[in-house]
Amino acid sequence: MTHPTYAQLEDRVRHCTACELTGRGYALQRFKGNGKVLIVGEAPGKKEAETGVPFVGRSGKTLDMWLEYMGLREYTVTNIVKHRPPQNHTPTPSQVEACLPVLDREISQLMPSALILVGKTPVRILGIGYWRMKGDLLFGKSVAGILSYNGIPVFCLPHPAYLIRQGYEKKIPDYLKELLSLYAGRIKRL
Ligand code: SF4
């Protein structure tokens, strides 16, 4: 079952011509429950654009394993940029600028209690000052939940593709388990 606002979002994105990615494949949202935590990646890849669903490939399965470990019962997964950039390139600043109002609209419709940003790029794109930190600090306990976007607490996770390259496709390294548990505890209290 999709969120009641999904059809409005799809209509907006399907007809959007605000940047040169218009007309390419796109991915919107996927849900568990009513989506009180919003998980935000960068942009859809090939599989996502084919299916219209964010994080459905190998990275998506690994991400789901993490979310399950956190015990998150309700969440929505989305991307900052909705249409797929060619060759999976990082969205350009003008594409991001054109698409950010769509994400902001999603946020105001879903009213999430927390954002979980996946990978460093969304942290940079959303202008959260800490993105210059090394990954082990950004994805570490010291900044967990002290970052925010438009007043919503932000939590940062490394990109699953990075962990898959390290051999952690089907298991979670201990340091990440600790982080996921910490995030889960803090998000539960929001
Ligand atoms: S990527 Fe975003 S701004 Fe660009 S056409 Fe698609 S919905 Fe519009």
Domain that holds residue 22: 6-188
Confirm whether 135 is domain-assigned: yes
pLDDT per residue as tens digits for the range 5-26: 889 999 999 999 999 999 999 9
pLDDT-derived band at 142 (thresholds 50, 70, 90) equals low
Confirm whether 48 is domain-assigned: yes
Count of beta carbons in the 10 Å neighbourhood of residue 93? 9
Cβ(116) – ligand 1 distance below 6 Å: no
Cα(91) to ligand 1 centroid in Å equals 10
Confirm whether 64 is domain-assigned: yes
- Give the strand pairing for 114-118 and 147-149: unpaired
The total domain count for the chain is: 1
Confirm whether 1 is domain-assigned: no
- Cα separation, 46 vs 137, whole angstroms: 31
CATH code, 129: 3.40.470.10
DSSP code of residue 92: P
* 83-110 average pLDDT score: 93
* 127-138 average pLDDT score: 68
Confirm whether 70 is domain-assigned: yes
Q: Exposed (0-12), middle (13-18) or buried (19+): which is 138, by Cβ within 10 Å?
A: buried
> Which protein residue's CA is at the shortest distance from atom 3 of ligand 1?
99
